[in-house]
């Protein structure tokens, strides 16, 4: 119909237009895209990509399974994940390419994960994200969505992520409520998430170490010869400290005087370079 009308209107050039029209329509039809006719030319416009079809639902509930003792540094506990996939659509047997992602909080160490359910196999991977550990559970059971794929079959499941409070956890997190969120995602279901909290108990344990050295380590007992005394103090408290005092000679009270003083024969002449703590 379009070709006939063009011949009647354009006359002598109709054969050339028909030839162009026929070749381009065949090419466009093979590509399954829409065609727009503009004057004597054709413009092919690609059809928009189709969004993934939401034909299933999923859910997740996360809880912290705690011991009867306080969550002190080194104490183990677990995060329990109760998750599910469901649908009422015939031909859909699961959630497509399902993953559960859990970015553990700082000072919570990853220990392991329980076995995957028998009907919902999968893989677990961990990676470092800054000072934190990210755990990803990827489900690999065969499912129909309705096309053939892999993911989480219909049903309800449970898995545990075993963790512990880091042995190096600082006292500054003592009594702090620490949230942790797990996210479940699938190609054919809306994403969901759930959060559980824990409260560590980390008492402050003040501690410090000191070191002392001479350079040279020995010398002639000759007046005027110099020696350098280096003092080093290190805060080994489980966290920051308000102050750090390095004293020589050691001991409470006033330092000794007279012949009992270590500086009786080594006169103090001044301070050298100092490396002070940084905030």
The highest-confidence range among 84-88, 201-205, 260-264, by mean pLDDT, is: 84-88
Q: Quick one: 276 and 243 in the same domain? A: yes
- Report the pLDDT value the prediction gives residue 36, as an integer from 0 to 100: 41
What is the structure's pLDDT at 9?
41
Integer Cα distance of 27 and 32 in angstroms = 9
Q: What is the pLDDT of residue 130?
A: 96
Does one domain contain both 113 and 216? no
**Residue 50 covered by a domain:** no
pLDDT of residue 95: 98
Q: What are phi and psi of 148, to 5 degrees?
A: -70, 135
CATH number for the domain spanning 147: value is: 2.60.40.1510
**What is the rounded distance in angstroms from the CA atom of residue 33 to the CA atom of residue 54?**
25
Does 120 share its domain with 179? yes
The answer to whether residues 193 and 274 belong to one domain is no
Provide the sign of the torsion angle of the four alpha carbons 235, 237, 239, 242, taken in this order.
Answer: negative
Q: Are residues 68 and 130 in the same domain?
A: yes
Under a CB-based contact definition with an 8 Å cutoff, are residues 84 and 58 in contact? Answer: yes
Q: What is the pLDDT of residue 230?
A: 84
Which pLDDT score is estimated for 71? Answer: 97
150 or 28, which is more confident: 150
Residue 15 scores a pLDDT above 60: no
How many whole angstroms separate alpha carbon 77 and alpha carbon 161?
A: 9
Q: Which domain holds residue 12?
A: 2-45
Whether residues 165 and 194 share a domain: the answer is: yes
pLDDT at 228: 82
> Which pLDDT tens digit goes with each residue over 109-126?
999 999 999 999 999 999
Shared-domain flag, residues 159 and 220: no
Residue 273 in this model has a pLDDT that exceeds 90: no
Q: What is the mean pLDDT of the chain?
A: 81
Residue 51 lies inside a defined structural domain of this protein:
no
Indicate the pLDDT class of residue 143, thresholds 50, 70 and 90: very high
For the ranges 5-14, 157-166, 213-222, the one whose mean pLDDT is highest = 157-166
Domain membership flag for residue 173:
yes
How many domains does the chain contain in total?
Answer: 3
Q: Which helix (H) or strand (E) holds 22?
A: helix 14-31
The answer to whether residues 278 and 217 belong to one domain is yes
Q: Other CB atoms closer than 10 Å to residue 199's CB: what's the count?
A: 14
| Residues facing residue 131 across a β-bridge | none
Report, as an integer, the average pLDDT of 247-272: 73
Higher per-residue confidence, 262 vs 163: 163
Residue 222 and residue 192 share a domain:
no
**Residue 223 covered by a domain:** yes
Domain check: are 210 and 194 in the same one? no
Smallest Cα–Cα separation from 80: which of 100, 95, 94?
A: 100
pLDDT of residue 213: 84
Predicted local confidence at residue 245, as pLDDT: 77
Q: Residue 174 forms beta bridges with which residues?
A: none
Edge-to-edge strands, sheet with 141-144: 94-96, 148-153, 141-144
**Region 118-139: what's the mean pLDDT?**
98
80 within a domain of the structure (yes/no)? yes
| Residue 8 counted as domain residue | yes
Q: Per the domain annotation, does 175 fall within a domain?
A: yes
Domain boundary among 198, 216, 237: 198
Residue 156 above 60 pLDDT?
Answer: yes
**Tokens 């990509």 belong to residue:** 49
* Residue 241 shares a structural domain with residue 223: yes
> Do the domain assignments include residue 73?
yes
Cβ partners under 8 Å of residue 123, min gap 6: 137, 138, 140
Does 181 lie in the same domain as 92?
A: yes
**Tokens 């895209």 — which residue?**
33
């Amino acid at each position: 119909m379009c070709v006939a009308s063009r011949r009647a209107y354009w006359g002598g050039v109709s054969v050339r237009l028909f030839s162009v029209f026929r070749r381009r329509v065949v090419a466009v039809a093979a590509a399954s895209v829409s065609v727009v006719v503009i004057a004597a030319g054709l413009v092919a416009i690609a059809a928009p990509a189709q969004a993934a079809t939401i034909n299933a639902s999923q859910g997740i509930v996360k809880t912290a399974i705690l011991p009867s003792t306080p969550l002190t540094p080194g104490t183990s506990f677990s995060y329990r994940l109760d998750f599910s996939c469901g649908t009422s659509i015939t031909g859909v047997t699961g959630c497509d390419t399902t993953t559960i992602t859990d970015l553990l909080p700082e000072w919570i160490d990853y220990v392991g994960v329980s076995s995957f359910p028998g009907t919902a196999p999968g893989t677990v991977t961990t990676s470092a994200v800054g000072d934190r550990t990210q755990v990803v559970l990827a489900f690999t059971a065969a499912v129909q969505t309705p096309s053939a794929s892999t993911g989480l079959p219909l049903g309800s499941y449970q898995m545990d992520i075993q963790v512990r409070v880091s042995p190096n956890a600082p006292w500054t997190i003592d009594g702090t409520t620490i949230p942790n969120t797990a996210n479940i995602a699938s190609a054919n279901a809306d994403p969901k998430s759930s959060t559980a909290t824990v409260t560590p108990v980390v008492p402050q344990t003040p501690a410090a170490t000191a070191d002392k050295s001479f350079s040279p380590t020995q010398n002639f007992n000759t007046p005027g010869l110099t020696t350098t005394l280096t003092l080093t103090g290190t805060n080994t408290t489980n966290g920051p400290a308000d102050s750090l005092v390095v004293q020589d000679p050691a001991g409470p009270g006033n330092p000794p005087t007279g012949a009992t003083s270590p500086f009786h024969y080594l006169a103090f002449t001044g301070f050298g370079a100092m490396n002070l703590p940084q905030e």
